[in-house]
Amino acid sequence: MTVSLRKGWAIGIIALFLCLVLSLLLGTGDISFTRSLSWLLFGNDEQAAFVILELRGTRTLLGVVVGAALAAAGAVLQTMTRNPLAEPGLLGVSAGASFAVVLAIYLGASAASVGLWVAVLGALCGCLLVLGVSRVSGASQDPVRLILAGAAFSGFLLSVTSLFLLTDQRTADEMRFWLIGALAGRPTEMILWVAAGVVFGVLLIAFNLRALAAMALGERMAQGLGHNPKQVQILTVLGVAVLVGCATAGAGPIAFVGLVVPFLVRALVGADIRRVFYLSLLYGPVVVVGADIISRLVVPPYELPVGVVTAFVGAPILMYVVRQRRMPTL
């Protein structure tokens, strides 16, 4: 059941505010919920200030940025391919970005020094390869076959990545936690660079959003409305690559966010990409930050990688969409 756009924004803002507050208050360390709340109210605990601002605050900021990037990328991919199953993790985009980062580290770089452009280039190559293969094989019009093409490509890159990790201990040590998606331990400077890249990707797609809405009606209809489908596709793929590459460089490959968030947003406000795109920028952080909170509380005093939590949430939704008798159209 859909709601009005105003209600959709109100629900998202309230949910994001609650997630941000809980993310600052909850953790697995010695700073308890009550002690964190006391610092927020009175500000007289230096140790709590360090944990909340430097540790929880930075990972919360990264969660907001990564969630917005992955959700927006998923919404755009689904509209461009007219495929409700399209998602960066399922179409090989995240796998391409991850492989590029692992390859750079294998060749001598460090995880902290790998530039965002490496992950962006890998995401761009992964997206173009999967879409190109699917067009040649005729799978681009079949949602399930397109996902199978992306899964095959992702599996191939994962096997090559595993080979790198098995043959080089330094690469394995640097990439072990990063490869399953995590928000903790990222330097503030890197988070700011990731945020800047995500803003650029969002602006690139927002500039193209009206044309994307026309493309959802078909290429011929878009041409009739004065748009160039090839140009729209190139700019869209570039924007998606920037978003996914930056998100992957910042937090590693976090799956299913680009599937879950557009699915929920369309259920709330309908399928118009102009609504779905901007609301996905709001609901994406809710999902990622919420998953990060859960990851801290499930197995204390340890933490689950946030990518594991999003997979637990996203996999049932993927199965639900696939098992529908009639695939939803966009």
Average pLDDT, the chain: 80
Region class of 138: left (phi > 0), else alpha (psi between -120 and 50), else beta: left
Name the pTM for this structure.
Answer: 0.84
Helix-helix angle 273-297:5-25, to 10 degrees:
20
Confidence of residue 258 (pLDDT cuts 50, 70, 90): confident
CA distance 322 to 316: 10
Q: Respond yes or no on whether the N-terminal peptide bond of residue 301 is cis (omega within 30° of 0).
A: yes
Q: Any alpha helices (H) in 178-305, and if so which ranges?
A: 188-207, 209-215, 219-224, 229-251, 257-269, 273-297
The DSSP-derived string for 252-263 is ----SHHHHHHH
Q: How far is CA 153 from CA 17, 114, 126, 148, 159, in A?
A: 38, 23, 8, 9, 10
* DSSP string covering 302-327: S---HHHHHHHHHHHHHHHHHHSSS-
Q: Is residue 329 over pLDDT 70?
A: no
Q: Are 246 and 100 in contact (CB under 8 A)?
A: no
Segment among 50-54, 167-171, 209-213 with least mean pLDDT:
167-171
Domains and CATH numbers, the chain: 5-323 (1.10.3470.10)
Beta-carbon count within 10 A of 147 CB:
21
Instruction: Please report which helix (H) or strand (E) contains residue 227, including its range.
Output: none
pLDDT band at 142 (very low <50, low <70, confident <90, very high): low
